[in-house]
Amino acid sequence: MAKTTEKPMSRKKAAVTAPVQEKASQKTEFRFYDNRQNYLSFINTTNEKSAIAKRAGREFQYLRPMPPALRLYDAGMGDATVLSDCLRDLHHRFPTVPVVVVAKEISMEDVRIGLDKMVDRFCEHPATVLVLTNLNYADCRLMPSNVASANAMNWQEIRLEGTMSYGYKQQLESLHPLFAHGWETQTSKTTGNPLFKRPSVVVIYRQDHHILLDAVIPKPGLQSWYFDFILASQPWRARTSARFKAEKIVAPLARALAPGGRMLVIQSCGRDPAEEVIREFWPDENPFPVDRHAILTEVRNVLGREMRHFKFREESDEKAIFSYRMHTLPSEIGGASIGTSTLFAAWNASVYVNQIEDQRLEAVIRDGSYLTATTKVLQKYGGLHFNDEAFVVSRYHD
Ligand SMILES: C[S@@+](CC[C@H](N)C(=O)[O-])C[C@H]1O[C@@H](n2cnc3c(N)ncnc32)[C@H](O)[C@@H]1O
């Protein structure tokens, strides 16, 4: 896959000044995680999720499943495009190995869409246990450390009847009210983030495989298992501090790795044409202030003496950065004028990945100059591409 670290343009054209930006973001907490339409449009107009699944596939070659199962954790299932692609790869590599996948998701809408993507996995790989949960990263092994959460736990077990995807789809769709109840949220008074109202775990597997899977189906209470693979794909806001990312996400997940287990972390890193679009309007913007090196430095600080159990793969840009692109037809970009829907999609993907708050967008979309700026960048590069970076944390065998 093409790698690029294009230099952003330095053109000064500040449509919105920095003080106004700050004032706007103080007024309303920016919550890009809830920006459903932008997320769904971005997923469908770029190949990021497929590029991430391919990157994860490179790690799967190091997995050596041990009885009784291969255990995975998805640190933010989103719409499950990445997860379902990863499972396809794993089911192909290990067709007879029981797979337990714990997928964390706070958004009920994502759970609903994500479940749809799982239907065919139960058909192709009957020895699958899918666990959906809204528990925090620190409780990824399904044992809330907080006593109140543990006592309030809403734990459900669903056995799918039959052998066909038609029936599974119907049965999973009938669970929507159950998820509506379990995934109800409230807004945090301090951060504005959505918080679960009740800690929930839903365990789904095929009825006709329950004897085979019995030993690996998670049950409420003490868990003695760890994860062989953890995927943390775009798990945070880019501008969140390295300390927070290390302390609240990477370190707790690392502790949940089994001996020999690996965690792949992926985040956007910019220095690409999409950032160039952004800099046309916000020349001083630094959308990705926390790179992988800063995060790993903090993870080392947080883990302290525990570091002796872990190995970090902190590669050069050449190896760590991979690109993905927006889908376009060659004729769309080469022609005299680019179609409006392509321009909208390119603008949406650029502001989405660079996490520009809605309030800041209002000022620049009013006069339409954003379409001119987007056209210029699309024509310059013959399309639009973006950069993500990855790093790996693994646990030593002993
Ligand atoms: C836990 S994250 C990621 C979910 C899933 N692992 C994925 O990669 O799509 C869920 C939120 O991250 C955001 N997100 C996903 N991909 C993103 C990207 N490339 N740039 C910025 N935000 C992204 C979306 O708003 C989504 O609701």
- Residue 299: inside a domain, yes or no? yes
- Residue 327: inside a domain, yes or no? no
* Parent domain of 207: 52-271+289-321+390-395
pLDDT at 393: 98
- Residue 91: inside a domain, yes or no? yes
Characterize the bridge pairing of strands 321-325 and 385-395. antiparallel
pLDDT at 34: 57
Q: How far is the CA of 152 from the centre of ligand 1 (A)?
A: 28
Ligand 1 atom at shortest distance from the alpha carbon of 107: 27
Q: How far is the CA of 236 from the centre of ligand 1 (A)?
A: 8
pLDDT at 11: 33
Half-sphere CA count of 32, side-chain side, radius 13 A = 22
pLDDT at 189: 85
- SS3 category, 156: strand
- Residue 367: inside a domain, yes or no? no
Give tens-digit pLDDT for 353-388.
Answer: 999 988 889 889 888 899 999 999 999 999 999 999
pLDDT at 13: 35
What torsion, rounded to 10 degrees, do the Cα atoms 322, 325, 330, 331 define? -160
Q: How far from 230 is each of 84, 275, 290, CA to CA, in Å?
A: 14, 29, 21
Ligand 1 atom at shortest distance from the alpha carbon of 238: 21
- Residue 21: inside a domain, yes or no? no
pLDDT at 33: 52
pLDDT at 376: 94
pLDDT at 20: 29
- SS3 category, 97: coil
- Residue 44: inside a domain, yes or no? no
Handedness of CA 234, 237, 239, 240 (dihedral sign): negative
Residue 360, token pair as written in the block = 């800041």
pLDDT at 362: 87
pLDDT at 336: 67
Q: What's the structural domain count of the chain?
A: 1
| Substitution site in 30, 37, 39 for ligand 1 pocket (most atoms within 8 Å of beta carbon) | 39
pLDDT at 25: 40
- Residue 346: inside a domain, yes or no? no
Question: Domain holding 258: CATH number?
Answer: 3.40.50.150
- Residue 114: inside a domain, yes or no? yes
DSSP summary character for residue 9: P
Give tens-digit pLDDT for 2-15.
Answer: 443 333 333 333 33
pLDDT at 178: 96
Buried b (16+ CB within 10 A) or exposed e, 325-361: bbebeeebbeeeebeeebbebbbbbbbbbbbbbebbe
Give ligand 1 pocket residues (Cβ under 6 A): 32-33, 35, 39, 48-49, 52, 76, 78, 82, 233-235, 268, 352-353, 355
What torsion, rounded to 10 degrees, do the Cα atoms 312, 317, 321, 327 define? 180
Closest protein CA for atom 14 of ligand 1: 234
pLDDT at 24: 37
- Under-50 pLDDT residues of the chain: 1-30, 32
Q: How many CB atoms lie within 10 A of CB 224?
A: 5
